[in-house]
A and B are shown apart, each in its own frame.
Chain A
Amino acid sequence: MKKTIFVLLLIVLIVIGLLIAVQVKNQLVAQELIVVNEVNLGEVNLSTKKEFKIQLTNNTGKDFEIAKVYTSCGCTGVLVDESESTSFVIKPKETIYVKLEFDPSSMHQEGDNIDHEVYVLVSNPVEKEYVVKILGEVI
């Protein structure tokens, strides 16, 4: 009898432990900002500037402070007015689009593969740099 009770208690404890672990994992996942991994611009004409957007979604219950958005190449720039800044806050359950522009004429030539990166630096709640690959081909 005592042995049965012990085994039952052990099973209950294991189940509770598993439930807590799943909950903690979900909370950790929910801390993340949802940022696309890559944007494919497809074929971009050498003489044409190509505008594109990066989607940032905050599915958590906290504000996300974006410290800055920057790029790996001078040919790719964030589209903001001079008075504006690339730092902003994404409210809970909010989705924001960052507008960027790729200008192939400045650094590319026909037939080049586009392989650049855009960085989104989150300063709060945790500091993290998200990387978005920008792909395509210059024609």
Chain B
Amino acid sequence: MSKSCCDKTSGKELKGILKPLLFIAVVPTVVVVGLIFLISKSQNTAAVDRSEIGVSDTTYKVDKNSFSFGTVSMKDGIVETVYELTNTGSEDIFVKELFTSCMCTKAQLILSDGTQTGFYGMKGHGGLNDFYVGKLIKAGETVNVKTVFDPNAHGPQGTGFIKRNIILSTNLKSSPNIQFSFDAEVIK
């Protein structure tokens, strides 16, 4: 009798001890597992192939869409200008490609941390991947598109009025191509 009495008591006591113990064990375990899951998820996101990044619904502004060099003399050679692009939205912009409309024009993307890509030219002068940039313009970031025009690229016949385009192909939802242009009157 007394045994069963004491067993009952010790069972209740055991339950009383187990409850907080379970609480103390389960809650931190759930928190730790959750943190591990979140960390692994963020690492997976960072490892995603950039070419498969989805569309961006962000906005941007540029300091100028077009620029006029005025008269450019062949004997004075290469001229350059820089276009400024700011991601004014809350999502990053993924730059897929950078290319120009003519082999006489080359363009380079310069990120805010000073990272510079190589110079990209006109499509048709290399393989399909030659124009792949694969860089992110972070929300709020301002980047530069440095553009170089060589008036001698077409030889002595290349005089007259010209207009050239520089195109950034992005993952923007509306109008994925960001286009800049410049013009010049090329003289000998």
**B residues near A109, Cβ cutoff 8 Å:** 124-125
B137 at the interface (CB under 8 A from A): no
A119 at the interface (CB under 8 A from B): yes
**Per a CB cutoff under 8 Å, which of B102, B123, B125, B154 touches A72?**
B102
Contact B124 A72 (CB under 8 A): no
Contact with A along B4-47 (1 / 0, CB 8 A): 00000000000000000000000000000000000000000000
Contact with B along A105-130 (1 / 0, CB 8 A): 01111001101110100000000000
**B residues near A71, Cβ cutoff 8 Å:** 162-163
B77 at the interface (CB under 8 A from A): no
B134 at the interface (CB under 8 A from A): no
B118 at the interface (CB under 8 A from A): no
A73 at the interface (CB under 8 A from B): yes
Contact B165 A72 (CB under 8 A): yes
Contact surface of B with A, Cβ cutoff 8 Å: 101-104, 122-125, 153-154, 158, 160-165, 183
Contacts known (A107-B122, A109-B125, A112-B124); A74 close to B165, Cβ less than 8 A: no
**Per a CB cutoff under 8 Å, which of B102, B160, B161 touches A73?**
B102
Contact B103 A112 (CB under 8 A): no
**Per a CB cutoff under 8 Å, which of A70, A112, A138 touches B163?**
A70
CB-CB nearest 4 A-B residue pairs: A72-B101, A112-B124, A74-B154, A73-B102
Nearest-Cβ distance from residue B147 to partner chain A, whole angstroms? 14
**A residues near B183, Cβ cutoff 8 Å:** 70
- Most chain A CB within 10 A, of B153, B158, B161, B183, is at B161
Contact surface of A with B, Cβ cutoff 8 Å: 68, 70-75, 86, 106-109, 112-113, 115-117, 119, 138
**A residues near B154, Cβ cutoff 8 Å:** 74, 106
Contact A107 B101 (CB under 8 A): no
Nearest-Cβ distance from residue A68 to partner chain B, whole angstroms? 5
**A residues near B164, Cβ cutoff 8 Å:** 72-73
**A residues near B122, Cβ cutoff 8 Å:** 73, 107
**A residues near B161, Cβ cutoff 8 Å:** 68, 70, 86
The CA-CA distance from A71 to B154 in the complex, in Å, is: 13
**B residues near A74, Cβ cutoff 8 Å:** 102-104, 153-154, 158, 162
**A residues near B160, Cβ cutoff 8 Å:** 70, 86
The CA-CA distance from A129 to B26 in the complex, in Å, is: 70
Contact A107 B163 (CB under 8 A): no
Among residues of B, the one whose C-beta sits closest to the C-beta of A138 is B124
Q: List 7 A-B contacts (CB under 8 A).
A: A71-B163, A72-B164, A73-B102, A74-B102, A74-B158, A113-B124, A117-B163
